[in-house]
Amino acid sequence: MDKRIVVSRAVPEPALDVLRQAGKVHVCPQDRPLTVPELHEAVRGAHAIVTMLHDRVDADLVAAAGPQLEVVANVAVGYDNIDVPAVTERGVIVTNTPGVLVDATADLALGLLLMVTRRLGEGERLLRARRPWTFHLDFMLGTGLQNKILGIVGLGDIGQVVARRARAFGMNIAYTGRRRAAAEVEAELDARFLSQDELLRTADVVSLHCPLTEQTRHLIDEAALATMKPTAVLVNTSRGPVVDEQALAKALREGRIGGAALDVFEHEPEVEPALLDLDNVVVAPHLGSATTETRTAMAELAARNVAEILAGHEPPNPVHR
């Protein structure tokens, strides 16, 4: 009997081809995040579930699927939407999709940084509003990146690639995190390891690349923002709840930091309304991995994880916690 594979939302066809070779595939037809009851109903009898970052995966979902469930394959590198201990203790393997989205996310982080420091979003809004303008030497001045300090919170795979790109712009690299990077990584990037407090005090740009955990939730809060330079810029391409959005909006409105560029939000898809009223904020709708090549590679990797587990093999990317 074919094993039942439930995909919570449409994925690229190459991934479905992989899944169809592993079992009988059901793709949920709703083109939106499923409600909890909808998701629980959809996964009944599933041997494998392919989930998105907006799907809550916990003991209740495992129970709804039934005892035959073998794997939950998350189409994301982050898995803060999954209660990993509760799922794995029931004998279900959790997988994710690391590696394949590193370059795309790093590219977007640099794009957001350029947008906020060079006021590109603000300039485009001016033109689209058909407001009059003329060139003059003090018109819509931004700031350059050369010789500025990029403070990276979380020098993992994405953080390292962001650092390499930033060095090409002439930036100096500092970083903080739970542990120091390998000596060869520090040497390649000429990166200084700092305490979080010192990094926030000295960086011209703070770029977030840490996972969302209970320790990093609201890592950037009112106190952290008060530590930053009044000219500093915050870039977040990690997870929204790492930043207290209300505190950020207040700090920006009061001129206590210079700007922010955000691809992720605390209560996606909602965005703190106060942020949208500010010209020194650039926002994007979670586009970090949004290239055709990257999203296809993510879905294919999730599909391969499923196929290997259903065939009784070790998956490429198990999550261990």
Same fold, 4-98+292-310 and 102-283: yes
Predicted TM-score (pTM) of this structure = 0.94
Mean pLDDT of all residues in 256-273? 97
pLDDT at residue 116 greater than cutoff 90? yes
pLDDT at residue 321 greater than cutoff 80? no
- Kindly state the tokens that stand for 291: 């290239």
How far, in Å, are 28, 45, 90, 100 from residue 64 at the CA level?
Answer: 16, 8, 13, 31
Mean pLDDT of all residues in 291-314? 98
How far is the C-alpha of 239 from the C-alpha of 210, rounded, in Å?
8
CATH code reported for the domain at 102-283? 3.40.50.720
Domain spanning 4-98+292-310: CATH superfamily: NAD(P)-binding Rossmann-like Domain (3.40.50.720)
Longest dimension (CA), the chain: 72
Percent of the chain with pLDDT over 90: 99
How far is the C-alpha of 298 from the C-alpha of 99, rounded, in Å?
9
50-86 tens-digit pLDDT = 999 999 999 999 999 999 999 999 999 999 999 999 9
Active centre residues (catalytic): 239, 268, 286
CB burial readout 83-112, b (16+ within 10 A) else e: bbeebbeeebbbbbbbebbbbbbbbbbbbb
Q: What is the pLDDT of residue 296?
A: 98
Q: What is the pLDDT of residue 320?
A: 82
pLDDT at residue 25 greater than cutoff 80? yes
Q: What is the pLDDT of residue 207?
A: 98
Locate tokens 């065939």: which residue?
311
DSSP string, 270-305: B--HHHHT-TTEEE-SS-TT-SHHHHHHHHHHHHHH
DSSP string, 196-209: HHHHHHH-SEEEE-
pLDDT at residue 100 greater than cutoff 80? yes
Which residues have CB under 8 Å from 200's CB, separation 6+? 151, 206, 224, 227, 228
Domain ranges in the chain?
4-98+292-310, 102-283
Mean pLDDT of all residues in 303-307? 98
Q: How many CB atoms lie within 10 A of CB 203?
A: 26
Mean pLDDT of all residues in 161-177? 98
182-236 tens-digit pLDDT = 999 999 999 999 999 999 999 999 999 999 999 999 999 999 999 999 999 999 9
